């Protein structure tokens, strides 16, 4: 399980090393570190880490240990793998319904419409979907589009 952690470190030597110890101790595997030394604020430097933990519990334990040694946690959230999908719909579909029913799990990050008033209205959607919900989401989109009598064209 990957987590995105942002911590605030005092702008003094040795602080980063101190903060990494509880992570390693609790089974975390560090995937990336961004240490923003250039923008300290009020004597603190933000550090962003992506860490792979064996479970949520290991992550929770790490947060507690970090608190104990006085490291401030700014953000901790699970990183969800997402897929970026382009889909094209042809037909005069009810956009609102497609978004509400067909794309419940997806985030729409872009769209483009051409000939919106004709019976061959054409809509291109750029969506982001958590990878584990991809099949379900595309199936939903297809079902809703079909019930609206529009053609949905998905990537191979």
Footprint of another protein on this chain (CB under 8 A)?
Answer: 86-88, 90-91, 112, 114-115, 120, 122, 124, 126, 151, 153-156
CA-CA-CA-CA torsion sign (45, 14, 3, 70): negative
Length of the chain: 156
- Collect all residues with Cβ–Cβ distance below 8 Å to 83 and sequence separation of at least 6: 128, 129, 130, 131, 134
- Asked whether the beta carbons of 32 and 51 are under 8 A apart, the reply is no
CA-based nearest residue to 21, from 79, 69, 76: 69
């Amino acid at each position: 399980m990957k987590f995105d952690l942002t911590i605030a470190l005092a702008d003094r030597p040795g602080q980063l090393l101190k903060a990494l110890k509880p992570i390693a101790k609790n089974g975390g595997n560090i995937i990336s570190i961004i240490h923003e030394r250039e923008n300290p604020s009020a004597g603190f430097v933000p550090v962003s880490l992506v860490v792979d933990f064996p479970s949520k519990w290991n992550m929770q334990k790490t947060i507690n240990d970090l608190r104990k040694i006085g490291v401030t946690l700014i953000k901790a959230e699970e990183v969800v793998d997402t897929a970026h999908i382009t889909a094209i719909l042809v037909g005069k579909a009810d956009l609102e319904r497609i978004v509400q029913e067909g794309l419940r799990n997806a985030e729409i990050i872009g769209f483009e419409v051409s000939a919106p008033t004709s019976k061959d209205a054409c809509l291109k959607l750029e969506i982001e979907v958590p990878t584990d919900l991809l099949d379900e989401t595309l199936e939903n989109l297809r079902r809703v589009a079909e019930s609206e009598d529009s053609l949905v064209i998905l990537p191979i």
